[in-house]
Chain A
Amino acid sequence: MNIQLMDRVATDQKIKLAIADCDIHPAPKSVPVEIYPYLSKRWQDYMETYGIIYRQGFPTGPAFPKGQPNAARRDAYPPGGGKPGSDLDFMRSQHLDANNVQLGILNPLSCGQGVQNQDFSAVYCNAVNHWQIAEWTSKESRLKASLMVPYEDPSASVKEIDLWGGDSNFAQILLLSRTAEPLGQRKYWPIFEAACRANLPVAVHAFGYGGAPVTGGGWPSFYIEEMVGHAENTQSLLTSMVFEGVFERFPTLKLILVEAGFAWLPALSWRLDKLWNRMRAEIPHVTRPPSELIRQHVWLTTQPMEEPEPREHLLDTIEWIGWEKLLFATDYPHWDFDEPSRALPIRVGKEQKEAFFLKNALELYNLN
């Protein structure tokens, strides 16, 4: 007997809000196939012989395990094989098209930064810059690349920035948050200067290999503590940048803090202002209240979004930071992905919603 039936109503026919995703992680399908063409024979041999040695203790991978294998959504493995984030077509169907992503900012991780051998770090970053154009931005106009720099070697970084400055494939310069020294220190100033010259924002993504413990209190026992540590670490680097006077020295500098949360920013700003009011004799080069400098120079990506109860507290927090300072991000294809339609757990006005999900990013990256 053959029974016909069932109305198959498509579950989601609504047109989705257009979004910018300011934190997408692409990965090479295979390093020898996709990265080696941009490395000289000498460095290919080096990589085969010694591998990549990061600025950390003895572990070969990340010091803490991840929430899911490869830190990735379990449904993000391309059907044709390879790592999550390594297949443009699959990224299109699973994410860019499905979530109506109009602008996607690529942030390659484990791609030459935080590498102990400085020369290798520089050539690897350069190779990854070529690779992003060849495999991603030249094939998909919604995607923009991040200019990778070997930030522990500022003069090599400046060379890389000057090489690509003005190339519209790149939307920003990428650093990782765990640097060898606090990021405001003058060692890094040439990078900020070159960024202003190239008119590119500097994005600092959580993680990296600076050599210091991953929390301010030392090495924690659990991965969950490492995840919290990103907020601490990012507060430290921001404090360093404020008090070293980076924003006053480079008045056109734009700083984007990526994947470190954002709800901590108001409290940090209040504390910095309070201390600056009382103690600024020590830092006469900082002539404006820290909160004002932060408001002018700093943007933050939204993922992983804080989820307070009651939810309205998130609204207050965003008001304090400024709706125009947040850039929506999903972290695709990573396991802590924020689903665009569910990430903001509160109803907000149309204007705020559009700014939060798309317009802030288009404006900041000059893509209007």
Chain B
Amino acid sequence: MSKYVVAAANEILPGQRKLVNVRGRPILIFNLDGDYFGILDRCPHQGASLCKGQLVGLVESDRPGQYNFTRNNEIIRCAWHGWEFDIRTGKSRCEPEKIKATQYNINTKTGSEIIEEAYEAETFDVAVEDNYVVVHL
């Protein structure tokens, strides 16, 4: 498994997303409250770019008349037919056991770790004191 540095951590702030390209694969990186997640930017249904989708949440109900709005901005809704995927797991909201967006392992590393371990990176400057988002592929 190779590791690719794809962005400086502060480029993708909580609630934001960024589309990167790793070895020809478009990967969509999300920051949810400081945790980074990555999914292939291709909807499992008919292949739309998930990056163009809308971030939504969940409306759940324990009993009639009571509604809870949860998971705000943690679900991505495809720009075409509206299939929804949980960003934390990649799983489809409707058919989690059957349908899943391809997920990648993402974490952050400091500049010095990156330089030491000779990560592969986009063409950009890595500074020792900063943090970077790394995709494992």
Contact = CB atoms under 8 A, between A and B. Distances in A.
B126 A3 contact: yes
B120 A6 contact: yes
Contacts of B53: 74
Contacts of A73: 48, 52, 79-80
A37 B117 CA distance: 66
B82 A67 contact: yes
A148 B25 CA distance: 44
Contacts of B23: 6-9
A45 interface: no
Contact of B46 (A3, A7, A9, A342): A342
B28 interface: no
How many interface residues does chain A have, given as a range? 20 to 34
Nearest to A338: B46
Contacts of A10: 24
Contacts of B5: 3
Interface in B118-137: 119-126
B24 A341 contact: no
A6 B125 contact: no
Contact of B52 (A6, A67, A74): A74
Interface in A1-57: 1-11
A9 B80 contact: no
A74 B47 CA distance: 14
Contact of A336 (B81, B115, B123, B125): B81
Contact of A3 (B48, B81, B120): B120
Nearest to A342: B46
Contacts of A2: 123-126
Given A11-B25, A74-B52, A6 B126 contact: no
Given A2-B123, A5-B121, A337 B21 contact: no
Contacts of A5: 4, 120-123
B82 A6 contact: no
Contacts of B70: none
A89 B120 CA distance: 37
B46 A339 contact: yes
A356 B22 CA distance: 36
B102 interface: no
Contacts of A342: 45-47
Interface in B23-49: 23-26, 45-49
A335 B24 contact: no
Given A8-B21, A75-B48, A75-B52, A1 B126 contact: yes
Nearest to B54: A74
A311 to B, nearest CB: 14
A83 to B, nearest CB: 15
A6 B122 contact: yes
B125 A337 contact: no
Nearest to A339: B46
B136 to A, nearest CB: 15
A73 B78 CA distance: 9
Nearest to A67: B82
A5 to B, nearest CB: 5
Contact of A7 (B24, B47, B124, B126): B24
Contacts of B124: 2-3
Contact of A337 (B26, B80, B122): B80
Interface string A317-360: 00000000000000000011111011100000000000000000
Closest 8 CB pairs of A and B: A9-B24, A75-B52, A74-B79, A339-B46, A342-B46, A3-B121, A5-B120, A75-B79
Interface of A: 1-11, 67-68, 73-75, 335-339, 341-343
